Amino acid sequence: MDRRQFLKAIGGGSAVAGSTGLWFFGTEAGRSPDSYTGMKNREGGYQTFDRKKWAVSNPTYDKVGPTSRADGRTDVIFARMGYLRRYDKEKGLDSFPPHVRDYYTKHPEDLELDITVRREIHQKRAEDVKKYRNEFILSKAWSSAMGAVGPRGVNGPPEEWDFPRGGASTPYKMKDPRQTSRLIKKVSHQCGSTLVGIAELNPDWVYKYPMNGGRGFKANEPIEVPEHWKYAIVVGVPMSWDPMYANPPYGTSNDAYSLSRIVAYRLTAFIKSLGYAARPHTPGASYDLMVPPILVDAGIGEQGRHSIVITPELGCNFRPSIVTTNIPMEADKPIDIGVQDFCKTCKICAEQCPSGAISKGEKETIRGYERYALHSSKCSNFWSSKLGNMGCRLCVAVCPYTRKANWLHKAALNVTMHDPTGLSDHALAGMQELLYPGQEPQKYYMPSMGGENASYRPVPWWLKTEDFIDLPDPEEPTTRSSE
Ligand code: SF4
Ligand code: SF4
């Protein structure tokens, strides 16, 4: 072999070895699920918190007396609003059916807020919408996009609708409840959920009467908690960060509502296909039960002063759905990450809430359980007193737990979790207010109510209408759906 042939042979050998190495490592890398685009979320990669370390035997709310169930017809503002169009000033409370009359007799302030103020606000709002609608063209279009896809609703009673093919069936025999929990959690992530937890359903959280009738229940007939609502699977998906910070006018709950609904319906179909019963309870208002305490029971997080559940991964910046089912599973335990102590000190949400709906005081006993009261009529009134997208998520935006996962807030979360004295809470809440100051709450109102259409943080670049659209004359009548 001459020198040239020798070099050729070496070169050829190297090429073969190199290609073999590349082929080997490339194939190995390609086998890893981490190499698949977009797989991390579906593997549950964002549910990173080690809940077992912070598990507690009892939930972080206190049961202090005889309990009663919420009345879905009157205790839920969205259901109460349905009765308002019947109101006649002459007839007063006699305009309403007895249960609504009872509610307003006990809560006269809510009657004032739900009727009188609402009428005034709606007129002012119509004028302001005409004047300022151009500012919100893109954010409203975005909100419509986020809410465009959703599953059909539940339309039958639990003993029929919840079961495969409309009636009791013979389910597959599951080998082991713990394994089934693992499977259900994995499938929930595959369905698009970021967070998932499982609780045994406490019947206290089921409405005594259904919201608005519907979902297979008869209006004004009490709900008998079905035996097959044994477990509650909680799923949660986050809302986009930047529009969330630009609340109240630029965020939208549709962002996570639709995905959360889709996850719940997919999971329901999965469970039914195994022969078990399942029923989704999903946002906006398609529920037969109260959601926050179930999230607490399932170890997803703790209920904050603003009544929303705070999770270690996403703070309160997420929207949940629940699937009630009888597939045998091992339930999770509640967790204690120090939120109760922190909320005692921190009152940022209550101070920033434009409507004064969030309590600055101590917890109260509500239907036998202690928690911070939320004045839902005040909250809902503010929704009509501002422009931009429907609703208000300002309390989510200002809560220190709702931060992008940055080292500062991660460190703060660790400090609050490990400090049993609560001494660090004052310092951390003070720092939050100093570093991320909010607006004067009045500025969040629409101009006709003395406000400035303000948002908590700057508007994301892609929702600034004036940078993308030749603004139409606001006085011009329009039929565009985003207005
Ligand atoms: S949604 Fe807005 S108005 Fe309602 S409680 Fe939260 S901050 Fe207050
Ligand atoms: S803003 Fe503060 S008080 Fe309000 S829920 Fe969040 S941590 Fe608790």
Helix (H) or strand (E) holding 366: strand 364-366
| 316 in contact with ligand 1, CB cutoff 6 A | no
Can you point out the beta strands (E) in 20-177?
62-63
Kindly report the protein residue whose alpha carbon is nearest to atom 3 of ligand 1: 379
Select from 67, 118, 72 the least CA-distant residue to 99. 72
pLDDT at 483 over 60: no
| Best probe residue, ligand 1, of 309, 375, 389, 392 (max atoms within 8 Å of C-beta) | 392
Helix (H) or strand (E) holding 321: strand 318-325
Confidence at 30, pLDDT banded by 50, 70, 90 = low
Q: What is the pLDDT of residue 481?
A: 57
Is the separation of the CB atoms in 378 and 121 below 8 Å?
A: no
Can you point out the beta strands (E) in 145-255?
195-200, 231-238
Structure confidence by residue, pLDDT tens digits, 347-361: 999 999 999 999 999
Structure confidence by residue, pLDDT tens digits, 192-222: 999 999 999 999 999 999 997 789 999 899 9
How far is the centre of ligand 2, averaged over its atoms, from the C-alpha of 341 (Å)? 10
pLDDT at 409 over 90: no
Looking at the CA of 339, which ligand is closest? 2
Confidence at 25, pLDDT banded by 50, 70, 90 = low
For range 32-51, the mean pLDDT: 70
Percent of the chain with pLDDT over 90: 71
How far is the centre of ligand 1, averaged over its atoms, from the C-alpha of 382 (Å)? 7
Select from 374, 334, 373, 371 the least CA-distant residue to 63. 371
Report the SS3 class of residue 214: strand
The angle subtended at Cα 56 by Cα 51 and Cα 58, nearest 5°, is 135
| 379 in contact with ligand 1, CB cutoff 6 A | yes
How far is the centre of ligand 1, averaged over its atoms, from the C-alpha of 459 (Å)? 19
Kindly report the protein residue whose alpha carbon is nearest to atom 6 of ligand 1: 395
Q: 26-35, 87-96, 376-385, 449-458: which range is least confident on average? A: 26-35
| 396 in contact with ligand 1, CB cutoff 6 A | no
Q: What is the pLDDT of residue 436?
A: 86
Is the separation of the CB atoms in 321 and 263 below 8 Å?
A: yes
| Best probe residue, ligand 2, of 303, 318, 399, 433 (max atoms within 8 Å of C-beta) | 399
For range 351-376, the mean pLDDT: 97
Structure confidence by residue, pLDDT tens digits, 241-258: 999 999 999 999 999 999
Is the separation of the CB atoms in 401 and 306 below 8 Å?
A: no
For range 278-307, the mean pLDDT: 96
Q: Which atom of ligand 1 is nearest to the CA of 398?
A: 7
Structure confidence by residue, pLDDT tens digits, 254-275: 999 999 999 999 999 999 999 9
How far is the centre of ligand 1, averaged over its atoms, from the C-alpha of 450 (Å)? 18
Q: Looking at residue 335, what DSSP letter applies?
A: B
For range 35-42, the mean pLDDT: 59
Q: What is the pLDDT of residue 434?
A: 87
Instruction: List the end-to-end C-alpha distance of the chain, in Å, as a whole number.
Output: 83
Confidence at 407, pLDDT banded by 50, 70, 90 = confident
| Best probe residue, ligand 1, of 113, 319, 351, 355 (max atoms within 8 Å of C-beta) | 355
Is the separation of the CB atoms in 456 and 394 below 8 Å?
A: yes
pLDDT at 1 over 60: no
Q: What is the pLDDT of residue 295?
A: 98
Q: What is the pLDDT of residue 412?
A: 86
Q: What is the pLDDT of residue 29?
A: 60
Q: 6-15, 241-250, 308-317: which range is least confident on average? A: 6-15
Kindly report the protein residue whose alpha carbon is nearest to atom 7 of ligand 2: 343
Q: What is the pLDDT of residue 10?
A: 57
Q: What is the pLDDT of residue 36?
A: 57
Sheet of strand 62-63: strand arrangement: 62-63, 369-371, 364-366
Can you point out the beta strands (E) in 44-133?
62-63
Contacts of 174-178 with CB under 8 Å at 24 or more apart are 174/274, 174/327, 174/328, 177/328, 177/329, 177/330, 178/330
Q: What is the pLDDT of residue 419?
A: 86
Q: What is the pLDDT of residue 85?
A: 85
For range 299-305, the mean pLDDT: 98
Q: Which residue has the higher pLDDT, 214 or 394?
A: 394
Q: What is the pLDDT of residue 405?
A: 67
Kindly report the protein residue whose alpha carbon is nearest to atom 4 of ligand 1: 379
For range 110-135, the mean pLDDT: 89
Contact partners, residue 259, CB within 8 Å, separation at least 6:
192, 237, 319
Report the SS3 class of residue 182: helix
Confidence at 20, pLDDT banded by 50, 70, 90 = low
Contact partners, residue 99, CB within 8 Å, separation at least 6:
71, 73, 74, 209, 220
Is the separation of the CB atoms in 339 and 221 below 8 Å?
A: no
| 382 in contact with ligand 1, CB cutoff 6 A | yes
The chain-wide mean pLDDT, for the chain, equals 90
pLDDT at 91 over 70: yes
Is the separation of the CB atoms in 323 and 233 below 8 Å?
A: yes
| Best probe residue, ligand 1, of 358, 384, 390, 449 (max atoms within 8 Å of C-beta) | 358
| 104 in contact with ligand 1, CB cutoff 6 A | no
Q: What is the pLDDT of residue 239?
A: 93
Q: Which atom of ligand 2 is nearest to the CA of 429?
A: 2
HSE (side-chain half, CA atoms, 13 Å) at 26: 6
Pocket lining for ligand 2, CB < 6 angstroms: 304-306, 342-343, 346-349, 398-401
Kindly report the protein residue whose alpha carbon is nearest to atom 6 of ligand 2: 399
HSE (side-chain half, CA atoms, 13 Å) at 379: 19
How far is the centre of ligand 1, averaged over its atoms, from the C-alpha of 296 (Å)? 21
pLDDT at 139 over 70: yes
Structure confidence by residue, pLDDT tens digits, 112-124: 999 877 778 988 9
How far is the centre of ligand 2, averaged over its atoms, from the C-alpha of 424 (Å)? 15
Select from 353, 344, 482 the least CA-distant residue to 425. 344
Q: Model pTM?
A: 0.90
Q: Which atom of ligand 1 is nearest to the CA of 355?
A: 3
Distance CA 285, CA 213 (A): 12
pLDDT at 296 over 70: yes
Question: In angstroms, what CA-CA distances link 221 with 36, 74, 91, 205?
Answer: 51, 14, 26, 17
| Best probe residue, ligand 2, of 401, 402, 415, 433 (max atoms within 8 Å of C-beta) | 401
How far is the centre of ligand 2, averaged over its atoms, from the C-alpha of 45 (Å)? 26
Helix (H) or strand (E) holding 323: strand 318-325
Sheet of strand 278-281: strand arrangement: 195-200, 231-238, 318-325, 278-281
pLDDT at 100 over 70: yes
